Amino acid sequence: MERPLCSDLGALTIVLLVSMVLVRVRLLRQRGVSAMQFGKTDKSDFLIPPFAFLYFYVVFAGAFGWPTFAGEDLVQSPAVQWLGVVLCTGGLVMMFWSLVSFGTSFRVGIDAKHPDKLITTGIFAYTRNPIYVAFGFVLLGEFLIQPHIVLLIYLLAGVALFHRQVMREESFLRQHYGEEYLAYAKRVRRYL
């Protein structure tokens, strides 16, 4: 009985996570800020959405009993599944705090033409990349809720993809903000 509830909460996590980002992008657009910069610095980023939609399908298939190719669970433990729910919840809280802390500086991708100020307060006083940490918590949580090999592969690929993007962003931030960013990077960890 716990499996469907945990799976439902996992699917709800995806809906809330994506909704938070899209609402923030829309609110910024209404204020004249173009926050959607995805794929403008590297066109290969457009390979990501089809894989993301497949990921969403696997998560929703577990919640709604749709057919899937994900295979059998690697582990069957309600305690592990509930730990996944806790991680997903933590990821949602961290994402919300990140969006609030970002203010109008939030962007999806690198905005080389209209960057805003460097944010070092709020959650950014504890981690330089709270959004990627939040996504990591959610990916790990979803895997624990539905411990399929496919979601493990997505977790590992996601962590590698996030790190690749963080390296790109840090390069831009060093170039754009110079000493201000370097001093910040010395004070605050990249992830946790």
Please give the average per-residue pLDDT across 79-96, as a whole number: 97
pLDDT band at 112 (very low <50, low <70, confident <90, very high): confident
Q: What is the pLDDT of residues 28-57, one digit of tens each?
A: 999 999 888 877 777 777 788 999 999 999
Residue 1 has pLDDT above 50, yes or no: no
- Reported pTM: 0.92
Cα–Cα distance list, 123 to 62, 129, 134 (Å):
32, 9, 11
Mean pLDDT taken over the chain? 92
pLDDT at position 3: 56
- Domain 2-187 matching CATH 3.90.230.10: the answer reads no
Domain-wise residue ranges, the chain: 2-187
Residue 186 has pLDDT above 60, yes or no: yes
Q: What is the pLDDT of residues 138-180, one digit of tens each?
A: 999 999 999 999 999 999 999 999 999 999 999 999 999 999 9
pLDDT at position 38: 79
pLDDT at position 128: 98
Distance CA(77)–CA(65), nearest Å, equals 19
Q: What is the DSSP string of the chain?
A: -HHHHHHHHHHHHHHHHHHHHHHHHHHHHHTT---B-TTSS-GGGGGHHHHHHHHHHHHHHHHHT---S--S-S---HHHHHHHHHHHHHHHHHHHHHHHHHGGG--BS--SSS--PPP-SGGGGT-S-HHHHHHHHHHHHHHHHS--HHHHHHHHHHHHHHHHHHHHHHHHHHHHHTHHHHHHHHHS-S--
What six digits make up the tokens of 93? 């809280």
pLDDT at position 6: 94
